[in-house]
């Protein structure tokens, strides 16, 4: 694995510290309730929401976020798909706004080639594909053309295996795996091979085991605890447990009460080899990251005499 990656002037040195990706959802139906737009909103409301999103992104950057991940389509179990045009209308103005106002890595959370291309042209410098190049065959060529890094996530999500409860939200049940870790590793490497075949070098690839995407509560717990086996593939790892249903179903907590559970998953994930953590609550999780790094990486950023 290459020891570092430079994205738009920002150097990420793997193993030296844990990097934080802050989540910015421009959706009306996010599972966590943090979406920044409403259904059927007016243009004036959208402009106001852009200002709110910019302020939120600036706050995240000020409190430890190295990357801001912008998403325009919910990926929760049972979520409604939207067109590429609608997704672009949501995300591109915000990408443009953030690129003009913040010195931070901007990630576009999409599996659609046209959305990724538009976002890159307006300032996004990282693509986060929750389908690992398996949803839109053109996306890999866009990533290769613009020479941006990509996060490839493992995903076996299926509506047929989604179960939704009013308090705790959606989860997946009954998706078959012969061997969870071996299957996840094999399918992640299938995504890597798609990337390689398009000329994307390994140093621009980050892997995500896909916590919450087509895994049961028990499988998600196992995946976090055995993250080191994913890390052994030789690529930097992004872990995204924030507010996910496996925490809610373990603790019987709704999405807005999963702070402590997320902190525990983040700490264990870092100890098991996560290089980037994707979180909603940047200020709180930054302290969890700093303390865990001090324990497992011997990395300190503050020294008080």
Q: Please give the positions annotated as active site.
A: 244, 278
The candidate with the shortest Cα–Cα distance to 161, out of 210, 213, 111, is 213
Number of Cβ within a 10 Å radius of residue 185: 18
Residue 60 contacts by C-beta under 8 Å, 6 or more apart in sequence? Answer: 22, 24, 68, 282, 283
What is the 8-class DSSP label of residue 14? B
Distance from chain centroid for Cα 176: 24
Are the C-beta atoms of 115 and 87 separated by less than 8 Å? yes
**What is the DSSP code string of 210-271?**
-TTSS--HHHHHHHHHTHHHHHTTSS-BEE--TT-HHHHHHHT--GGG-HHHHHHHHHHHHH
Task: Give the C-alpha separation, 156 to 194, whole Å.
Answer: 17
Q: Collapsing DSSP states into helix, strand and coil, what is residue 6?
A: strand
The pairing of strands 10-13 and 4-7 is antiparallel
What is the 8-class DSSP label of residue 124? -
Q: Collapsing DSSP states into helix, strand and coil, what is residue 208?
A: strand
């Amino acid at each position: 694995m290459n020891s570092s990656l430079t994205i738009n002037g920002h150097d990420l040195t793997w193993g030296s510290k844990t990097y934080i990706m802050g989540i910015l959802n421009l959706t009306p139906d996010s599972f966590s309730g943090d979406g920044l737009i409403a259904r059927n909103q007016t243009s004036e409301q959208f402009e106001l929401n852009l200002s709110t999103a910019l302020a939120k992104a600036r706050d995240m950057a000020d409190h430890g976020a190295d990357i801001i991940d912008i998403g325009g389509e919910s990926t929760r179990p049972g979520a409604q798909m939207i067109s590429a045009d609608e997704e672009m209308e949501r995300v591109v103005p915000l990408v443009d706004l953030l690129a003009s106002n913040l010195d931070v890595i901007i990630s576009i959370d999409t599996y659609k080639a046209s959305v990724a291309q538009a976002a890159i042209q307006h300032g996004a410098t990282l693509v986060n594909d929750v389908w690992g190049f398996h949803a839109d065959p053109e996306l890999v060529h866009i990533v290769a053309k613009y020479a941006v890094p990509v996060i490839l996530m493992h995903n076996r999500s299926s509506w047929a295996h989604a179960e939704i409860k009013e308090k705790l939200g959606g989860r997946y049940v009954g998706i078959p795996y012969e061997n969870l870790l071996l299957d996840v590793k094999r399918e992640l490497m299938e995504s890597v091979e798609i990337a390689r075949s398009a000329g994307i070098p390994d140093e621009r690839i980050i892997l995500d085991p896909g916590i919450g995407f087509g895994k049961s509560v028990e499988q998600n717990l196992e995946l976090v605890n055995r993250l080191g086996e994913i890390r052994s593939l030789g690529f930097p790892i992004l872990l995204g447990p924030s507010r996910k249903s496996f925490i809610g179903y373990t603790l019987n907590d709704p999405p807005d009460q999963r702070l402590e559970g997320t902190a525990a998953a983040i700490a264990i994930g870092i100890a098991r080899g996560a290089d980037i953590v994707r979180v909603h609550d940047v200020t709180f999780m930054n302290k969890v990251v700093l303390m865990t790094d001090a324990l497992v990486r011997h990395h300190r950023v503050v020294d008080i005499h």
